[in-house]
Chain A
């Protein structure tokens, strides 16, 4: 015999509501759409050009991250039915994301990650999806916020690395604050926020988290050295780029490494290195006995 609560639930149709897995996939789809379709710099012109512009706005590591979240949620077999309050919260979060842009998407990603982490302690794939959502939110919002707050000491650390490397290569190089003096051509190098290795570190770690969680939804102790390798590689490449800017003899050389083909070349090298290290680390540990 059905109880009163069961009868009410059956009559209201609540038992037919979508599964938790599907619910989260819909919310993540709204968050992904919010990021993919935002227009950052210029209005879109044609269909093809517009599509290319939209796709190029995000780093390839972001696409890997979103793919990892969708893939892990699909494999997680979250078949239990969502409660009406969960459906209501999900709808509310999606509506907020339709109306608000910018950081709302990352706050929502953090909230969804937290929900998945707390509500499904026994499901490794769900927790892996939550981890990748956290990594996306860290790269998109929390790391930039941290950088804004502590940007000057972080830039000082960048200046110490660049100044130190340059002083090994040529005499007379010194640095004061973020200002590197005594370059070969007589100009000086000033390190601004966008030049910092910090941004690439958070992006590199996003790639590492995504690929590791895709390969196996659990952490092993060998993952930490791989993360350190990612951090060191991106820091070395960025420091190398700043050194090349400082070593350049003229404005043409500066422009080549700063916003020109040289910077693009190093960005591709960084992408390749981070992908290779992350894949190696993820696959090595997952095939280990």
Chain B
């Protein structure tokens, strides 16, 4: 065999291997963050309830009753864009405790740049093989009764933690 034939055969094999590798890969699944949150909370002994869905699933939430907060805590998955910001300011009780949570960060108000940096930080770590989290672009908005420290209810980082998700047989994309 001449070197040309060897090189051509190698490339032809690579084309076939690429096709085979793509065809045998698992299809990408849509992230259902509400299912992830419900599953994780149920795994930690809570009784999560899914709130009714609106058109386009806007402002849909997972609700849990917390004794120490004397009321219901709503957990709303939001994309990092937080396109709902102006709507949220209308519909949410201004006295309610609100926290945006994403990976290892928490914010009192919408902070798109902060959340995007959090995504970037962990995305780079994942690319270097040091990632602990699944870095999909879904954050959580926690809304609780006034005075309730919603961030302390559970370890929210677990919602993106690769190992915890696998342990609870949950997928987040």
- Contact status of A44 and B22, CB under 8 A, knowing A16-B2, A16-B3, A148-B137: no
Interface flag for A41 (CB, 8 Å): yes
Expressed in whole angstroms, the Cα–Cα distance for A122 and B8 within the complex equals: 27
A80-132 contacts to B (CB < 8 Å): 87, 90-91, 94-95, 97-99, 101
Residue of B nearest to A259 (CB): B56
Mark interface residues in B6-26 (1 if CB within 8 Å of A CB, else 0): 011011001101110111011
Total A-B contacts with CB atoms under 8 angstroms apart = 110
Q: State whether A251 touches B18 (Cβ < 8 A).
A: no
Residues of B44-89 at the interface with A, using a CB-CB cut-off of 8 Å, are 55-56, 58, 79-87
Contact B14 A91, beta carbon cutoff 8 Å: yes
**Is B112 an interface residue when CB atoms closer than 8 A count as contact?**
yes
| Interface pair A178/B22, CB less than 8 Å apart | no
Across-interface contacts of A179 in B (CB, < 8 A): 84, 86-87
Given contacts A98-B17, A148-B137, A192-B81, contact A17 B3 (CB under 8 A): yes
Q: How far is B22's CA from A149's CA once the two chains are assembled, in angstroms?
A: 28
Q: Is the CB of A17 within 8 A of B27?
A: no
Task: Tell which of B3, B22, B85 touches A34, judged by Cβ atoms closer than 8 Å.
Answer: B22
- Cα distance A8–B47 when bound, in Å? 75
B83 close to A37 (CB less than 8 A): no
Q: Is the CB of A192 within 8 A of B83?
A: yes
Contact B18 A94 (CB under 8 A): yes
Residue pair A17, B7 in contact (C-beta under 8 Å): yes
- The answer to whether A192 and B15 have CB atoms under 8 Å apart is no
Q: When the two chains form their complex, are residues B81 and A193 in contact, meaning their CB atoms are under 8 A apart?
A: yes
Interface string of A124-149 (1 = CB under 8 A from B): 00000000000000000000000011
Residue pair B87, A41 in contact (C-beta under 8 Å) = no
B25 pairs with A39, CB closer than 8 A: yes
- CB-CB under 8 A for A190 and B19, given A38-B25, A87-B7: no
CB of B15 within 8 A of CB of A193, answer no
Q: CA of A177 to CA of B10 in the docked complex: distance in angstroms?
A: 54
Interchain CB contact under 8 A, B22 and A26: no
Verify if A184 is at the interface (C-beta below 8 Å from B).
no
Give B103-141 as 1s and 0s: 1 = Cβ < 8 Å from A's Cβ atoms.
000000000100010000000000000000000010000
- Shortest beta-carbon distance from A156 to chain B in Å: 10
Q: How far is the CB of A153 from chain B (nearest CB, A)?
A: 10
The interface bits of chain A over 2-19 (1 if a CB of B lies within 8 angstroms of the residue's CB, else 0) are 000000000001101110
Task: Point out the residue from A16, A30, A152, A176 that lies within 8 Å of B14, measured CB to CB.
Answer: A30
Is the Cβ of A33 less than 8 Å from the Cβ of B28? Answer: no
A36 to B80, CA, bound (A): 29
Q: Is A165 an interface residue (CB 8 A)?
A: no
- B25:A98 contact, CB within 8 angstroms: no
Q: Report A32-75 residues with CB < 8 Å from chain B CB.
A: 33-34, 36-44
Determine the residue in chain A with the shortest Cβ distance to B24: A39
- Tell whether A191 is near chain B: CB-to-CB under 8 Å: yes
CA distance A36 to B84 in the complex (A): 35
Q: Which residues of chain B are near A87, meaning CB under 8 Å?
A: 7
Contact A33:B19 (CB < 8 A) given known A26-B11, A101-B25: yes
In the complex, what residue of chain A is closest to B58 when comparing beta carbons? A190
B166 interface residue (CB < 8 Å to A): no
Residue pair A29, B25 in contact (C-beta under 8 Å)? no
Known: A17-B3, A18-B4, A41-B28. A98 touches B56 (CB 8 A): no
Please name 25 pairs of A and B residues whose Cβ atoms are closer than 8 Å in the assembled complex, sorted by A: A13-B2, A16-B3, A18-B7, A18-B8, A26-B15, A29-B15, A30-B14, A33-B19, A37-B19, A37-B23, A41-B29, A91-B10, A91-B11, A94-B18, A98-B17, A98-B18, A98-B21, A101-B21, A152-B83, A155-B83, A179-B84, A190-B87, A193-B81, A254-B55, A258-B56
Extra pairs beyond A41-B27, A177-B87 (7, CB < 8 Å): A38-B25, A94-B11, A94-B14, A151-B80, A152-B81, A193-B81, A254-B55
Per CB-CB distance, the 6 closest pairs between chain A and chain B, nearest first, are A177-B86, A37-B22, A26-B11, A94-B14, A176-B86, A13-B3
A contact residues vs B (CB 8 Å cutoff):
13-14, 16-18, 26, 29-30, 33-34, 36-44, 87, 90-91, 94-95, 97-99, 101, 148-149, 151-152, 155, 176-179, 187-188, 190-193, 251, 254, 258
